[in-house]
Structure formats: structure tokens, C-alpha cells
Amino acid sequence: MGYKVAIVGATGNVGREMLNILEERGFPADEVVALASRRSQGTDVSYGDKTLKVRSLEQYDFSDTDICLMSAGGAVSKEWSPKIGKQGCVVIDNSSAFRYDPDVPLIVPEVNADAVTGFTKKNIIANPNCSTAQMLVALKPLHDHATIKRVVVSTYQSVSGAGKDGMDELFTQTRAIFVADSVENKKFTKRIAFNVIPHIDVFMEDGTTKEEWKMVAETKKMLDPKIKVTATCVRVPVFIGHSEAINLEFEKPITAEEARDILREAPGCQVIDKHEDGGYITPLESAGEDATFISRIREDSTLDNGLNIWVVSDNLRKGAALNAVQIAELLLERDLIKPRKQAA
């Protein structure tokens, strides 16, 4: 007997990717239900070689559903995730709504899988921010070996992190520039085509943006509360794939060669680090891939125990949809949920 899985936000970039990944990985689902707002009701979405009709979230009964993959934004999640959880369905939420709730585990399976057992308090598990997820996949094995004291990270985040509207705006602006049309900014605060914007999410009182704050708070919650983190998050004119330049300071000595060896063996990591033209990863190559790629591993001579690394991943997959499906797989592997139809 397989599981019944609902995807909320099935018409969005991440929702569609969740459907693709469930099918690709052979998740044991007897039934998959695509849900969205009333205005998307009746839309067709693909699940393997099947076509699913999108149903209305407002009219759906979760009482016989085992897992809900939620990717409809923070406001929808705040309203619906607790209601769904109370019906006995485990919610794996991709928004920021519950990431900092002490009663909701924030999970990257390669980083802190053991924390998943805490989901029973609210029947909600949070998926981290896309930029944090890929960073911690790379940092966890290094932290285990030499204990990270401080992280300085600068991100180069693709427009797909801002949803379909962000991708459409980059495409539309780029085309407009080539044909000498006027360029409009709708999704982003400044022109994104042929530009970079050091502003993701809202500004906070101290001048950091919410995106930067998320990377700090989530690293402390998932990896180690003692780690000092400072981030600068930048939107770049790339469709898919987030990149990060990360400077690390460790308590114990670690060489670049040791770091390469550790990361080559680490779950979810793939090292591409040759000291030659093209011997590194870019976001273009990461699109559609599951791995977190690490390149440009080198020692920082300005620190006693310092390293620089370059980390790239498909933000729609490991940064969102893949991580959510991996959390669902983790629940099954650890025998933490059973199909409700079977139990009945």
C-alpha cells in the first residue's frame, strides 16, 4: 500500500518540480493530488506520463492524505499548514512561515536528519531557504572535521528564486533591450537584465535584507548555534542555479586537499575542482541536477585556518523541491509515518 501525497502550489515553478522529482525518484505514492488556488482550478500539470487536473485547496479534504508538500508562499502556509497538520497529514513546507518555530524541525537530510522526529508536535516540517540549503550541504562535512567558527558568504542568486514572474521579467527585459523597446521593472526593484541587484527580500532595521538574515538564523538552527555568519545576497541575471562564494574560518587546521577529500565522500556533494580553464562548475551546468557542486577550493592565507569555496546548485531542486521530497523519503526510511489507508 502506497502513500497519498498532495502538492499545494502545483502550478508554480517549485510545485511542478516537486511533481517531476516524485516521479523521477519513484516515490511510493498510490495517489498524487495537485492543488492550488481557485483561480488555477482545472489547470493541467504533468506527473510522469500522467496529466493531473489541479484541484482547489479550499475545497480539499486532507483527512486521508499522508503527506502534503506545500509550496504556495508564506501567507498560504500560515493559514493552511496548521489546519492540514491537525487533520493528521504531515506538511513539508517550502516557505519561511515555520522555519524559526522551535516546535517545527528545519531539515536538510544530509545535515540534520535526526531532528526530523520533532515533527510530531505540529505535523509540520520546514524546508530551509534555497541559498542556505546548498551552503549547509557543503559546510556540514567540513564542520564535522574541523569545526567552523565563522562564515562569510556572498550569493549570486538566479531569478527563478523569485518565481515564474522573476524568470519572465529577465526574459522580457533581455528581449526588449535587444530590440530597443522600453524596459519595465515589475518584479525587481531595478533592471535585472545585464545587471546585478544587491537586494533580495525586504530590508531590516540593521540594513541587512531578510534573505541575508535567513542564512544566519537557519545555519545556527540546523548546523551549530555558535557559528558566526555574515551574508550578502545578490540577484543575478541567471535563470536557474544559485552560486555562492564562501569564506570559512575553522577552529582546527584543514588544508584544501583535506577539504576536497572530505567533500568528495560527503552525501549530496560533487567536487569539480581542476586548476584549469573550465575546471569548475557554473549555474548553467547545475540546472536539472540534484548535487550540490563545490569548486575553487583553496586556502585563505589571511587566516590561520581558512578556506575559500565556490558552491553551486539548482535552487529549484536541492534548494526547494528535491529537499522536500528527500524529507518525505526520510520519514519513510525511519518508519515515522504509515499510509493512513493501510492503518484504516
Q: Which residues are catalytic, by number?
A: 130, 242
315 is in an annotated binding site: yes
247 is in an annotated binding site: no
Q: Which residues pair with 93 in a beta bridge?
A: 70, 126
87: helix, strand or coil: coil
157 is in an annotated binding site: yes
Cα separation of 289 and 19, whole Å?
A: 15
- Give me the residue label for grid cell 510522469: 48
Cα separation of 77 and 332, whole Å?
A: 23
Nearest to 157 by CA among 312, 321, 320: 312
DSSP 237-266: S-SS-EEEEEEEEESS---HHHHHHHHHHS
Contact indicator for 250, 228 with CB cutoff of 8 Å: no
235 is in an annotated binding site: yes
CA atoms within 13 A on the CB side of 7: 29
Contact indicator for 190, 159 with CB cutoff of 8 Å: no
| CA 53-57-60 angle, 5° bins | 85
323 is in an annotated binding site: no
Q: Give residues with Cβ within 8 angstroms of 55, minimum separation 6.
A: 33, 34, 35, 36, 41
25 is in an annotated binding site: no
Amino acid identity at 66 = D
308 is in an annotated binding site: no
123 is in an annotated binding site: no
Q: Give residues with Cβ within 8 angstroms of 278, minimum separation 6.
A: none
127 is in an annotated binding site: no
Cα separation of 123 and 18, whole Å?
A: 20
State whether the Cα torsion 296-209-285-288 is positive or negative.
positive
73 is in an annotated binding site: no
160 is in an annotated binding site: yes
279 is in an annotated binding site: no
Q: Which residues are annotated as a binding site for substrate?
A: 157, 235
Q: Which residues are annotated as a binding site for NADP(+)?
A: 11-14, 39-40, 160-161, 315
Q: Which residues are annotated as a binding site for phosphate?
A: 99
Q: Which residues are annotated as a binding site?
A: 11-14, 39-40, 99, 157, 160-161, 235, 315
